[in-house]
C-alpha cells in the first residue's frame, strides 16, 4: 500500500509541474522565433513587391487566363408533341431562319380522326343532357300531383337527376375544350420559328444531339438567336474567387493576340459544374470547373463556336505612365511629405519619400513618379513599423499564431498566472517515462492528511 501511495505522490508532483514546463517550452519557442526572424532588431516587417501590388507584372504575361467559347445570347428549343407523328422537316442544321420560317410539320391524320370522334361524342352528350332535363321536368310534374306521403321520394329522385345534369354539363365543357385543342393542333400542324437565327441542332432520335459549341440541347429543333454574342468561360474551383459579376474582361483571339474584344462578366454559375475543362493551363485531377458568362461591347469579327482566351481587365490593355499605388499603402501622416515603408539594399526597412503625379479618385490610387520602382518591396503602413527592421516576404507570414493568452508576451513578464497549482488537468496524459499505477492496481482516494 505504501508503494502505491508513493507512486501516487510522485504522479501528483509531476502533474502539478507540467503547466510550468509547457509554458517555459512555449515561451522559449516564441522568443526564439521573434529573435530569429527579426535579427538584431528583434522584429520583422512583411513586404510585398510593388509589381504584385500594382499588377505591372502583367507585361510579363502573369495574369490568369481562362478558356472561352463564343455562343449566342439566346437559344430556343422547339419541341415536338408526344401524341403526333412528324410529317416533314423543312430545315437542316446550320440553316438560317427568320420569323415565320417553317421548321417542321405534323401528320394530321390522327388529329382529324380524333376530332371526328370527339364531335360525335359531344353530340351524344348534348342529347343525354336534354334527356336528363326532360326527366327532371317530368318528376317535378308528378311530385306536384302526388300525395304528401310520396313527395319526399320524388324530391330524392329530382336531386339525383339534377346531379347527373351538372355532371353532364361539366363533361360537355371538357369535351368542347378537347375539340378546340384538336382544331388548334390541326390549324398549327406546321411549326414555324418565332425568332431570327441559325438552326443549331435537329434531334430526330429523341436524344441529345450537339450542334455548334460544347453544349448539347434536348429540344427537337434548337435555334440560336443571331446578332449579339456572349462568351462562356470556365473557371477552376481553385481560382473561382478571381472572377466576380461586374468585372471588365479582355477577350483575346487565339489566332492573333493583338485582336481583342471587351466585355463584362454578367453571371457565374456556382451551382453547376462544367464537364468541359477550358482553362488553358489545365486542371488537376478531381478538380471542378464552373461556367461564367461575358456580355460583349461588340461581337464584330467573332463566330459562333469560336474559342478564345479571357482575362480580367486590370488596366493592362491601356498603358498608364508611372506606378499607380493604392492610397492605403502610403503613409500620409504628413501630407506634404508622403512616404512608403520600403526594403533597402541591405534587406532592412526604411522610410522612402515619394513624389506624386495624378490621383485616380475612382480607384483611390496615386501615380508615383519618383522614389519607387516595380522591383521594390514595401510594407503595409503600421504604427509598429520602424526603420531597421528585417524585411521578410509576405508569403512567409505565418498563419499559426501563438496560443491564445501568449500573444505579445515580453521577456520578464510575470508568468505565474500560467502555472497556478490546481489548474484543470482533465485529459492530460502522463508524460513518457512517468511512473503510474501498474495495470490492475487501484489507487483509492485519500484525504490530503494521509499523504
With bands split at pLDDT 50, 70 and 90, how would you rate the model's confidence at 39? very low
Between residues 319 and 378, the one the model is more confident about: 378
The answer on pLDDT for 10 being more than 80 is no
Q: CB–CB of 385/349 below 8 Å?
A: yes
Q: Is position 381 within any domain? A: yes
Indicate if the pLDDT at residue 346 is higher than 60. yes
Whether 208 is covered by a domain: the verdict is no
Asked whether residue 19 is domain-assigned, the answer is yes
Same domain, 35 and 51: no
Residue 355, pLDDT > 90, answer yes
* Rounded Cα gap, residues 19 and 15, in angstroms: 8
C-alpha 127 chain-centroid distance: 63
Task: Pick the closest to residue 423 from 26, 7, 15 (CA basis).
Answer: 15
Owning domain of residue 431: 2-43+399-450
Q: Using alpha carbons only, how large is the chain's radius of gyration in Å?
A: 42
Average pLDDT, the chain: 76
CA quadruple 168, 172, 173, 178: dihedral sign: positive
Residues 335 and 368 in one domain: yes
In the prediction, which pLDDT does 451 show?
33
**pLDDT at residue 43 is higher than 70:** yes
Co-location of 34 and 48 in the same domain: no
Query: Would you put residue 206 in left (φ > 0), alpha (ψ -120 to 50) or beta?
Result: left
User: Which of 225 and 175 is assigned the larger pLDDT?
Assistant: 175
Q: Do residues 365 and 421 share a domain?
A: no
> At which of 159, 187, 215 does a domain end?
187
Q: Is the pLDDT of residue 170 over 90?
A: yes
444 — pLDDT class (breaks 50, 70, 90): very low
240-244, 250-254, 398-402: segment of lowest average pLDDT: 398-402
CA-to-CA distance for 157 and 89, rounded, in angstroms? Answer: 58
> What's the number of domains the chain is made of?
3
Residue 411 lies in a domain: yes
Task: Tell me the average pLDDT across 356-375.
Answer: 88
* 23 has a pLDDT exceeding 60: no
Strand partners, 77: 222
Residues 56 and 24 both lie in one domain: no
Looking at 187, 216, 247, which one is the last position of a domain?
187
Q: Taking a C-beta distance cutoff of 8 angstroms, is the pair 304, 214 a contact?
A: no
C-alpha distances in Å from residue 271, one per residue of 86, 290, 295 = 37, 8, 20
Residue 185 has pLDDT above 70, yes or no: yes
**What is the average pLDDT across 321-330?**
88
Residues 443 and 375 in one domain: no
- Its pTM surpasses 0.75: no
Percent of residues, the chain, with pLDDT higher than 90: 38
Q: Which of 104-118, 344-358, 370-384, 434-448 has the lowest mean pLDDT?
A: 434-448
pLDDT winner (highest mean) among 11-15, 209-213, 261-265: 261-265
Q: What mean pLDDT do residues 267-275 have? A: 79
Round to whole Å and give the CA distance between 352 and 376: 11
pLDDT for res 4: 40
- pLDDT tens digits, 380-397: 998 899 999 999 998 887
Q: Give the CATH number for residue 384.
A: 2.40.420.20
Does residue 243 lie within any of the structural domains? no
Q: Are residues 114 and 177 in the same domain?
A: yes
Main-chain phi, psi angles of 377, to 5 degrees: -120, 135
The verdict on residue 119 lying in a domain is yes
Whether the predicted pLDDT of 11 surpasses 60: no
Last residue of a domain, one of 147, 164, 187: 187
pLDDT at position 108, please? 85
Q: Does residue 139 sit within a domain?
A: yes
37 and 48 fall within a common domain: no
Higher pLDDT, 335 or 415: 335
In a domain, 199, yes or no: no
pLDDT confidence of residue 310: 92
Residue 16 and residue 33 share a domain: yes
Amino acid at each position: 500500500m505504501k508503494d502505491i501511495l508513493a507512486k501516487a505522490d510522485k504522479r501528483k508532483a509531476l502533474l502539478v509541474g507540467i503547466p510550468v514546463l509547457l509554458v517555459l517550452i512555449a515561451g522559449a519557442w516564441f522568443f526564439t522565433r521573434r529573435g530569429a526572424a527579426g535579427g538584431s532588431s528583434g522584429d520583422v516587417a512583411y513586404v510585398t513587391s510593388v509589381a504584385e501590388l500594382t499588377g505591372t507584372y502583367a507585361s510579363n504575361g502573369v495574369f490568369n487566363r481562362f478558356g472561352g467559347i463564343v455562343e449566342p445570347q439566346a437559344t430556343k428549343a422547339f419541341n415536338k408533341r408526344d401524341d403526333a407523328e412528324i410529317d416533314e422537316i423543312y430545315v437542316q442544321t446550320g440553316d438560317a431562319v427568320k420569323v415565320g420560317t417553317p421548321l417542321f410539320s405534323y401528320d394530321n391524320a390522327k388529329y382529324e380522326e380524333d376530332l371526328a370522334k370527339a364531335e360525335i361524342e359531344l353530340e351524344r352528350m348534348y342529347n343525354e343532357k336534354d334527356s336528363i332535363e326532360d326527366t327532371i321536368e317530368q318528376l317535378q310534374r308528378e311530385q306536384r300531383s302526388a300525395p304528401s306521403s310520396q313527395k319526399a321520394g320524388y324530391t330524392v329522385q329530382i336531386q339525383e337527376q339534377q346531379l347527373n345534369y351538372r355532371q353532364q354539363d361539366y363533361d360537355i365543357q371538357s369535351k368542347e375544350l378537347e375539340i378546340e385543342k384538336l382544331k388548334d393542333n390541326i390549324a398549327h400542324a406546321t411549326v414555324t420559328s418565332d425568332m431570327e437565327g441559325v438552326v443549331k441542332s435537329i434531334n430526330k432520335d429523341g436524344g441529345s444531339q450537339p450542334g455548334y459549341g460544347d453544349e448539347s440541347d434536348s429540344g427537337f429543333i434548337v435555334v440560336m438567336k443571331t446578332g449579339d454574342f456572349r462568351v462562356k468561360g470556365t473557371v477552376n474551383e481553385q481560382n473561382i474567387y478571381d472572377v466576380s459579376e461586374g468585372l471588365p474582361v479582355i477577350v483575346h483571339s487565339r489566332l492573333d493576340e493583338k485582336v481583342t474584344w471587351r466585355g463584362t462578366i454578367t453571371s457565374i454559375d456556382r451551382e453547376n459544374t462544367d464537364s468541359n475543362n477550358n482553362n488553358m493551363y489545365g486542371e488537376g485531377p478531381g478538380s471542378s470547373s464552373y461556367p461564367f458568362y461575358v456580355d460583349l461591347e461588340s461581337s464584330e469579327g467573332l463566330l459562333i463556336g469560336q474559342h478564345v482566351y479571357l482575362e480580367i481587365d486590370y488596366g493592362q490593355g491601356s498603358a498608364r505612365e508611372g506606378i499607380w499605388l493604392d492610397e492605403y499603402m502610403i503613409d500620409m501622416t504628413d501630407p506634404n511629405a508622403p512616404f512608403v515603408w520600403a526594403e533597402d539594399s541591405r534587406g532592412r526597412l526604411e522610410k522612402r519619400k515619394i513624389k506624386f503625379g495624378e490621383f485616380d479618385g475612382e480607384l483611390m490610387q496615386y501615380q508615383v513618379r519618383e522614389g519607387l520602382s516595380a522591383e521594390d518591396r514595401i510594407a503595409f503602413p503600421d504604427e509598429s513599423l520602424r526603420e531597421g527592421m528585417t524585411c521578410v516576404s509576405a508569403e512567409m507570414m505565418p498563419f499559426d499564431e501563438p496560443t491564445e493568452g501568449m500573444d505579445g508576451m515580453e521577456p520578464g513578464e510575470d508568468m505565474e498566472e500560467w502555472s497556478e497549482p490546481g489548474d484543470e488537468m482533465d485529459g492530460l496524459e502522463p508524460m513518457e517515462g512517468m511512473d503510474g499505477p501498474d495495470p490492475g492496481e487501484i489507487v483509492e482516494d485519500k484525504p490530503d492528511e494521509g499523504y
